[in-house]
Structure 1
Amino acid sequence: MASDSEDDVYNDRFVRNLLDSDDDSDDSFDGFDPVRPRRNYNILLETPLSVFGPENNVEIEADREAGWTGNETFSTVMSFNGGGTLNVEMDSHNPNDYMKLFIDNDFFEVMCNETNAYATNRMANQELATHSRMRKWEDVTPSEMKVFFTLVIAMGLVYKSDLDDYWTTDYVTETPFFSRSMSRDRFLNILSNFHISTDEDRTDKLRQIRPMIIRTMQRFSEVYIPDENLSFDEATCPWKGRLNIKVYNKNKPAKFGVKLYTVCEAGSGYCLGYDIYAGRQENRHAPDYYEA
C-alpha cells in the first residue's frame, strides 16, 4: 500500500499534469486511477494551494468567447415587486365563479363535442342489444354536461355503495337531488361515453385528459400572480381503482393513488403548475403547458 508521502506526490503530479495539458478534449481524459479511487475524488482538497497559483490562472480565448472569465463577479439579486394579485375582475365570489376561471364554457363545448363524437362512432361500430341504453342516446349539450359534473361532485359528498343507489326511491336512503337533476339512464349514458380527447397517441398515457391539463396549466398562471415564496413538492390523489399510472407508497397516509409534482404559493396553497406522474416516459408535452 502506498504511503501518505507517495500519495501526496502522486496527487500533486496528477493535478499539475491536468492543469498544464493543452488538450482539453474528452478523449484525452483517461479517468481516475482505480488503485486510488478515494484519493482521486478528493484530489482538489488534498493538493497544496501552490498548485493553483497565479501562473496557472490563464484565461483561454475560447472560454472568453463563451462568456467565461477569471474575474470575480457577483450576481445581482433583484427586489421582488408585486405578487398575490388576481388578474381578472370578479362580480361575485361564490365557488361556481371560481371554477369558471379555469373550466369555462368553451371547454364544456370541447367536452360535449368529443363525447358526442365518441358516442356516434360507438353506435356505428357496435351491435347494440335490444334494450341497450345507447339506443336512447341524444347528443349532450353544455348545460347538460354542467349538470352531469354537478352530480359527479355531489357523489363525492354523499357516499353510497352502488351507483344506482343515488336514484333509489327507498324511503330511508332516497336522495331526491339526483333524480330531480337527471335521470339515471341519462347519467349512465353520458358517463359511459364521456371523452375529453380522442387522441390515439399511445406513447402518452395521459392523452385522454391532456387537453384539460394544458388548459388548466395555462389558466393557473393567467388568473393569478403569486407571492415571492413558492413551494415545490409531491402530492397524492388517493385512488384504489384500476389505473395503470397508480402508484403505491407504504409510508403515505393514502398508500395508493396518483402522484403529482406541484408548484404552489407557500402562503395560500394556490397551485401554479403540476405534472402527473405516469411512469418513465419522455414528457414531450411539457412545453405546451406554458404556451400563450
Structure 2
Amino acid sequence: MDSDSDVYADDLSQISSDAEFPDSDSESDEELFRPTRNRVLPIPSSSDSEDSDDEVLDWSTTDKVPIIEQFLGQSGVFVMPHNSESVIDVVKLFIADDFFEYMATETNRYRAQNPDAFRDRAKSVKWKDVNVVDLKQMLGLLLLMGRVRKDTRDEYWSTDKTIQTPIFAEIMSRDRFRLIWYAWHFSNNDDRDGRDRLKKIRPILSYFTNKFQEVYKPERELSLDESIMPWRGRLSFKVYNASKIIKYGLLIRMVCEAKTGYICNFRMYCGVGSRLQDTILNLLKPYCNLWHHIYMDNYYNSVATCEILLQNSFRTCGTIRVNRGLPSCLKNPKLAREESIFRRR
C-alpha cells in the first residue's frame, strides 16, 4: 500500500458526513450505499434511532475525573520471522507455504471434478497437477501485470519487439498460465453451504484473519472503520456511493490498531442483514475484556453501543449523531464561541 492512510482511520471512510446524509428516525445502510440495480441486495440496517419521548433522567451535570482501567492485553509481535531483516521471511509470517499448498489442492480438485471443462485440445498443453511453485510463479506474474500495463493478458507473452516483456515467457508459458488461471480455486465445490455467499473464498478470508491475530497483538487504542475494495464487476452485494472517488466496490468493516493501521480483524459485507451493534461486537470479539479504547465515527457510535461495549470492557471515543440516544439538551444547543456543554452518565 502507498501509505498508512489507505489502511485505517477516517481517511478510509466511505460513509458521508451528516451534511450529506441527514438524520432520520430510521438509520439504515441504504442511505449510505445505494445499489445500482434492484437485484443488488440492501446493506444491513444499522441500529435504529434511539430517540424516545421518555427523557432519560440519569444524565448528570456533575463532572468528575473518570477512572481509566489498566490495559490488560499484551501487545507486540508474537510470531517472529527467522530473519527480521528479510522481507521474504516477514511475508511468510502471513503467506506461508501452507497457503499455497491449500490452493494447489483445491485447484487440482476442481480440475478433477470438471474433466470435460478442461478437455485437452490438440494445440494446448496437457494438464499437469499444480504445485506450490506454479502458484507462486502465477501470483508473481499477476503482481507484475499491475506494474506493466498492457491491453490484453496475452500481450504479456507477445513476441512483438515493440511490446515484448520476456520475463513472462521465461517464468511460465502462456498456455500453462491459462490452464492454471481457469482452474484456480479456493474451496471444494462439494461443500455446499447456500447460506454463505462468501463460501468460494471463505477459507482464504479465515486464513488471513487468523494470521493477522496470531502474528501481532495490538496496543490499547483501536480504530473501528470501513474500507471499500474497488470492484465494478457483476456481484449482488457490490455497493455504490456517488459522493466518493471509489464509487463501486466491496464494503469491508475492520478494526485496526490506531497507531500503525495494522488490520486486527475484518468482515466483508455480503448482503446479509444484521444489526450494526452485532457487527461491531463480532469485529471486537477477539479483544473483549482487555480494556481497549475504541475510536469510531458517528456512523458506528451511539449511547446504547457505548453501554454494550463498556459491559465488554471497552472504552469508546467518537463523534455521535443527535438521534443516537443523546439527551434533548445536547441535540440543538445554543452555544457562544468557545462555550461548551456536557452531560455525564
Q: Shorter-chain TM-score: which interval?
A: 0.5 to 0.7
The alignment status of 1:41 with 2:53, answered yes or no, reads yes
Residue of structure 1 in register with 2:246 after alignment: 254
Among residues 64, 85, 89, which one is paired with 2:76 in the alignment? Answer: 85
Cα RMSD, aligned residues only: 2.9
Among residues 211, 215, 218, which one is paired with 1:219 in the alignment? Answer: 211
Identity of aligned residues (%): 38
Residue of structure 2 in register with 1:269 after alignment: 261
On the 8 A contact 2:84/2:90 being kept in 1, the answer is no
Which shows bigger deviation, 206-215 or 243-252?
Answer: 243-252
Shift of 1:81: 6.1
The letter of the residue matching 1:240 is: R
The alignment status of 1:187 with 2:187, answered yes or no, reads no
TM-superposition CA deviations, 1:47-67 (whole Å, max 9, x none): xxxxxxxxxxxxxxxxxxxxx
Among residues 233, 241, 260, which one is paired with 2:225 in the alignment? Answer: 233
Residue of structure 2 in register with 1:142 after alignment: 132
SS in 2 for 1:221: helix
Residue of structure 1 in register with 2:146 after alignment: 156
Among residues 83, 99, 113, which one is paired with 1:107 in the alignment? Answer: 99
In 2, distance between residues paired with 1:144 and 1:232?
Answer: 38
Higher helix share: 1
On the 8 A contact 1:83/1:228 being kept in 2, the answer is no
Provide closer, same or farther for how the CA distance between residues 203 and 281 of structure 1 changes in structure 2, counting only shifts above 3 A. Answer: farther
In 2, distance between residues paired with 1:272 and 1:98?
Answer: 17
Provide closer, same or farther for how the CA distance between residues 132 and 280 of structure 1 changes in structure 2, counting only shifts above 3 A. Answer: farther
The number of equivalent residue pairs is 219
Residue of structure 1 in register with 2:164 after alignment: 174
Shift of 1:191: 0.7
SS in 2 for 1:197: coil
On the 8 A contact 2:254/2:267 being kept in 1, the answer is yes
Shift of 1:131: 3.7
TM-score (norm 2): 0.57
The structure having more radius of gyration, on CA atoms, is 1
In 1, distance between residues paired with 2:137 and 2:205?
Answer: 22
TM-superposition CA deviations, 1:126-172 (whole Å, max 9, x none): 48374474x61110011111111111111122222211011111212
The letter of the residue matching 2:88 is: N
Which shows bigger deviation, 147-156 or 270-279?
Answer: 147-156
The letter of the residue matching 1:106 is: D
On the 8 A contact 2:120/2:127 being kept in 1, the answer is no
The letter of the residue matching 2:253 is: Y
The letter of the residue matching 2:234 is: R
Shift of 1:106: 1.4
In 1, distance between residues paired with 2:79 and 2:270?
Answer: 33
Residue of structure 1 in register with 2:200 after alignment: 208
On the 8 A contact 2:111/2:118 being kept in 1, the answer is no
The letter of the residue matching 1:87 is: F
TM-superposition CA deviations, 1:75-113 (whole Å, max 9, x none): 964223676511122204444333211221112111111
TM-score (norm 1): 0.67
The alignment status of 1:97 with 2:109, answered yes or no, reads no
Q: Which runs of 5+ in 1 are unaligned?
A: 1-39, 46-73
Shift of 1:253: 1.0
SS in 1 for 2:160: coil
SS in 2 for 1:251: coil
Q: Which runs of 5+ in 2 are unaligned?
A: 1-51, 58-64, 287-345
